[in-house]
Amino acid sequence: MKEKIIDMVDENAKLQLEEAIRGMTFTKNFRSPSAEEWYIFIPGFKDPVTGGAPGKAIIHYNLYDTKQIFINTTIIWDDPALQKGEAYQLVYAISDEIVNRLVGYADTLLSVHSGENSYNAEYKEN
């Protein structure tokens, strides 16, 4: 028996996600010898206070513990539209893309701060 795979993502959500990922840009800001700060720009979203980047990623490299080396990544979304529950698919997909682009395949502990869409995840290479 063949099982049908049903795509549950709305077409408008798909288009918004594709546009966000295609238009996503980054600006790196030096933070410290063991950490980077990246401002994340996404078309259609902005910081309500400054009008600038709607989010930032802080990547902290754990240089001291050599048994289990993890990169600690924190993503903070400031745009209120990305903090509402209905934007969870967009927040998860964009945050995943950010980890893929900025951290790659390294073992990563991720913390996303985005109102109702906040979550923690672990990316571990087997």
Residue 68 has a pLDDT of 62
Domain that holds residue 25: 11-123
Q: Is residue 79 part of a domain?
A: yes
Comparing C-alpha atoms, which of 33, 30, 42, 104 is closest to residue 73? 104
pLDDT tens string 63-109: 665 556 678 999 999 999 999 999 999 999 999 999 999 988 778 89
pLDDT tens string 100-112: 999 887 788 999 9
Residue 65 has a pLDDT of 57
Q: Is residue 3 part of a domain?
A: no
pTM for the whole thing? 0.85
What Cα–Cα distance (Å) separates residue 118 from each residue in 14, 59, 74, 75, 83? 21, 17, 11, 9, 8
Q: Is residue 26 part of a domain?
A: yes
